Structure 1
């Protein structure tokens, strides 16, 4: 690891100024991803600006009935908050499905959104990787890619996004709030992550030097009947092979609203809009759930060794929606 300077910020403006004045500066939250990448030589910041002491933690009510979660709130605190568990249970479940308890106690909500892919080629500076070194190539396409993307990838990158939290936030139409020296701004999570395209190193739509300050969950998206389910290669402390965050509102035997987001299948949380369109206004049957999943997965382009993800994603959609439909009908 190369030498770096360390600075602890206590005011948002101080943090923004410190990063603006040093092109090699990076914000440091819990450090659960950034420090690992520094150890391997993937990240080489010249200064770390610690933002943990900024007044940006906690969960509060929003005027529209939703919630605002501060960026420095730990993952553990977000998952344990009673209103998160009551109004957005899939979010609490998603957070608890990620990492270990020790890591959740350190990791922050803002940092979770900015964590980088766990693709082995990205993590190894000796390997070509367009996300790490633009134009160097993507070794995963012809290499080991059984856990890589089947949706939305490009010839330049087939890595997947690792966040469980972001999948649930995508299903609930979350909005990311940020601050720059020029003022405050916000980006819907649906536009926060950039498509892979030919520049996979450009991962988010945040302006340069921006600091995430909060994530807002709109009241209209509250889904007390929601679930997050994660399939992984071992029972704990593993990233998703495929995951789903779903909410289902059934009234009078008809799907009035549905929200579906998939994880582990793309470079960003994948909102299943096509599947949702098939389901709205329809009866919540297993056949309809299967048709919805197939409509979404028609766009999948599996690689040599990861076609199983398409079948797994389809079955996961059917199973979780069936569970939610049964819960609704039991009300």
Structure 2
């Protein structure tokens, strides 16, 4: 790890000022990804701006939504009574996303911005990585790629976004609130991420020096059923092979609204809008669930190591739709 300057501002304006003047500056919150990448030599910031003392923590009710400070930890959000009662898919995604030790360190803002878990990106000894060095190629396309993405990818990059809770938040139309040198703005999470297959080196729409200050999470109606299913190689802490965040509002035997996010398959947390369209105004059941699953993975781009994910993603979604709807398989 290279040497770096460390600063700890006490308010947001000072944090923005400390970051804005140097492109080699990075923010530091829980550090559960940032510090690993620095130790590996993947990231080498000249200055770290520690934001952990900023007033950006807490969970508040605002109308029909929850406003969650970006420095709220994963464990704090999972323990919130409203999340437990009205947003079970968020709670389950948080609890399945990391060990309790990491959940007590990792922040919500940091989780949304975590870097890809691609083994080639995280190894500076691998030269071919368009995410680290644009134009150098993608080693994952020809190498072992079991943990890589099949949606939003191309021969330029098949890196996977590994966040679990971001999958649930994308399905819910969550919004991130951002402050930066040019002022404040709000961005729907569905528009926040950039597909790896388009510009591998750009992962999100944050500008230099901008900082996520809060996340706004709409609460589901009381009648909506929801949950998060994560399929992985082992039950203990592990990243998803595939996952599905599902919320269904069923009335009089018909699906009035459906919200679906897929994980383990996308270069960004994947909103399965085509699957939602199949489900809306349809009776819940095996046939329509299979049709929705087919629509969810349309356009998948695979390499030999990721071909299995197409079928696994469909089965994961059908299983979770069946569970949430309480329809017998």
Please state which band the TM-score falls in when normalised by the shorter chain: over 0.9
CA positional deviation for 1:225? 1.4
Aligned partners of 1:53, 1:190: CA distance in 2, in Å?
A: 29
The residue that corresponds to 2:84 in the other structure is 85
Q: How does 1:157-196 map to 2 (within 5 A)?
A: 157-196=157-196
- The C-alpha deviation readout for 1:120-170, integer Å capped at 9, x for no partner, is 100000112111111111000000112211111011100110100100100
CA positional deviation for 1:181? 2.2
Aligned partners of 2:161, 2:246: CA distance in 1, in Å?
A: 18
The residue that corresponds to 2:62 in the other structure is 62
Whether contact under 8 Å (1:179, 1:210) holds in the other structure is: yes
The residue that corresponds to 1:232 in the other structure is 232
Q: How does 1:236-275 map to 2 (within 5 A)?
A: 236-275=236-275
Aligned partners of 1:14, 1:99: CA distance in 2, in Å?
A: 31
Aligned partners of 1:229, 1:49: CA distance in 2, in Å?
A: 36
Scaled by the length of structure 1, the TM-score of the pair is 0.96
Aligned partners of 2:310, 2:179: CA distance in 1, in Å?
A: 39
For residues 320 and 78 of structure 1, do their structure 2 counterparts lie closer, same or farther at Cα, with a shift above 3 Å needed? same
Aligned partners of 1:290, 1:216: CA distance in 2, in Å?
A: 32
The residue that corresponds to 1:313 in the other structure is 313
Whether contact under 8 Å (1:25, 1:49) holds in the other structure is: yes
The residue that corresponds to 1:45 in the other structure is 45
CA RMSD in angstroms, aligned pairs only: 1.4
Q: Is residue 142 of structure 2 the alignment partner of residue 142 of structure 1?
A: yes
Scaled by the length of structure 2, the TM-score of the pair is 0.96
Deviates more, 1:288-297 or 1:166-175: 288-297
Aligned partners of 2:293, 2:37: CA distance in 1, in Å?
A: 36
Secondary structure of 1:230's partner?
Answer: strand
Q: Is residue 18 of structure 2 the alignment partner of residue 18 of structure 1?
A: yes
Q: Which runs of 4+ in 1 moved over 3 A?
A: 219-224
Whether contact under 8 Å (1:88, 1:224) holds in the other structure is: no
Deviates more, 1:230-239 or 1:12-21: 230-239
- The C-alpha deviation readout for 1:270-304, integer Å capped at 9, x for no partner, is 11111110110111011110111012223212211
Q: Is residue 300 of structure 2 the alignment partner of residue 296 of structure 1?
A: no
CA positional deviation for 1:234? 1.4
**Runs of 5+ in structure 2 lacking a partner?**
none
CA positional deviation for 1:220? 6.0
Whether contact under 8 Å (2:243, 2:317) holds in the other structure is: no
Secondary structure of 2:274's partner?
Answer: helix
Whether contact under 8 Å (1:152, 1:266) holds in the other structure is: yes
Aligned partners of 2:221, 2:157: CA distance in 1, in Å?
A: 32
For residues 221 and 250 of structure 1, do their structure 2 counterparts lie closer, same or farther at Cα, with a shift above 3 Å needed? closer
Deviates more, 1:302-311 or 1:278-287: 302-311
- The C-alpha deviation readout for 1:6-38, integer Å capped at 9, x for no partner, is 111210001000001222111000000000000
Whether contact under 8 Å (1:173, 1:221) holds in the other structure is: no
Whether contact under 8 Å (1:94, 1:164) holds in the other structure is: yes
The residue that corresponds to 1:100 in the other structure is 99
Aligned partners of 1:271, 1:245: CA distance in 2, in Å?
A: 9
Secondary structure of 1:37's partner?
Answer: helix
Q: How does 1:27-46 map to 2 (within 5 A)?
A: 27-46=27-46
